[in-house]
Amino acid sequence: MDLAILYHGNCFDGAASAALLGRFLAERAGAPTAAIRHLPMAHRQGDPFPPGALDGPLNACVDFRFSPSPRLHWWFDHHASAFVAPAERAAFEADRSGQKFWDPSAPSCTGFIHRTLRDRFGWEAPELADLVAWAEVIDAARFPSAAVAVRLDEPALRLMTLLEATRDPALPDRIIEAMRRRPLAEIVAEPAVAAALAPILERHRAAVEIVRRLARLEGGVVSADLLGTGIEAANKFIAYDLFPEARYTVVVSEDPRRTKVSVGSNPWPRTPRTHDIARLCERYGGGGHPVVGAVTLPAGQREEARRIAAEIAAALRVEGPAAGAAAGAGAPPGRAP
């Protein structure tokens, strides 16, 4: 089966979504899963789909924005910002394939795919219940506590950390393939995975120390500027572990490809969230969910990123519109881009 699955890269939910849909499509076609190609996608301004990404005979996209291309055959997403232009939304709504699904209230795309395949196609993989359950916890930031999310003892949380941090293009493929059938504890224990994880956990422990030094809480907003620290992305729960009274975090970071402003809300808030973070990020060309979002800039745009971060932090310090439709009340918490 010549299938390409485009998925949200460097993301547990993206990888788990690719694993689940890949297994379904292969079993449905009575084909081996060996020939499935996985293409990680990254949010960015402009068209994120690389040329040729949808040129294969069968193409799917999961946990990532919509493409109106007629070469997209299967699509599942739960991002509020799935449609960049009104024409894309119109194309989705006009689609009669019965193979494209969007639910911005779904806690995770993996859970959404699981429910959709069960309810509409009568297909289930009961042994993947753990994978689905952890995707729901991770993507909706429904950890029992910030400390659990910072300690990373659970196999699922170790895979989450590895997928978010790895720059090895072969590793996500191996993990997705393993996720189709194997228990998470077994995947983490695999020598190649354990070896890749060790330095990342070491960096994580160093990042906890650096965030502890740099993060400042002001008006309920934790700001951290990680530019120049060598930390490309810090686990976003460190801030809430340090400052349980914080409502929001605004973090500036960079990697060789981009400069990023990550905005989040405390999943264990002492006072409720009153801002829609996706909307706030959309003002700067970013997006996400009501509870978490990001603005991605080209590499090197440090001052622009700092300015945007300061403006977003200032907006979050001021009480937002009354928690209602505008603030996305009722929508479950979410995560990523």
Number of residues binding to Mn ion, judged by CB under 5 A:
4
For tokens 């040329």, what's the residue?
A: 51
Among the listed residues 315, 253, 254, 256, the one whose alpha carbon sits nearest the alpha carbon of residue 284: 315
Hey, is 5 helix, strand or coil? strand
Give the span between the Cα atoms of 271 and 16, in whole angstroms: 32
Give the span between the Cα atoms of 322 and 12, in whole angstroms: 33
**Segment lying near Mn ion (by CB under 5 A), choices 46-54, 106-114, 144-152, 314-322:** 106-114
Q: How far is CA 113 from CA 107, 195, 236, in A?
A: 11, 31, 26
Among the listed residues 7, 49, 33, the one whose alpha carbon sits nearest the alpha carbon of residue 178: 33
For tokens 């354990």, what's the residue?
A: 194
Closest approach, Cβ 282 to Mn ion, in A, equals 18
| Residue of the chain from 15, 63, 161, 187 that contacts Mn ion (CB under 5 A) | 63
**Segment lying near Mn ion (by CB under 5 A), choices 25-33, 107-115, 247-255, 305-313:** 107-115
Give the span between the Cα atoms of 23 and 45, in whole angstroms: 31
Q: Is 232 in the site for Mn ion (CB under 5 A)?
A: no
Q: Is 77 in the site for Mn ion (CB under 5 A)?
A: no
| Residue of the chain from 106, 109, 163, 179 that contacts Mn ion (CB under 5 A) | 109
Site map 132..171 versus Mn ion, x via CB under 5 A:
-------x--------------------------------
**Segment lying near Mn ion (by CB under 5 A), choices 105-113, 236-244, 254-262, 282-290:** 105-113
| Residue of the chain from 12, 13, 178, 280 that contacts Mn ion (CB under 5 A) | 13
Residue 109 or 215 with smaller CB distance to Mn ion: 109
Closest-by-Cβ residue to Mn ion is 13
Closest approach, Cβ 289 to Mn ion, in A, equals 9
Cβ neighbors of 320 (< 8 A, separation 6 or more) are 273, 274, 275, 276, 327
Catalog residues that contact Mn ion under the rule CB under 5 A. 13, 63, 109, 139
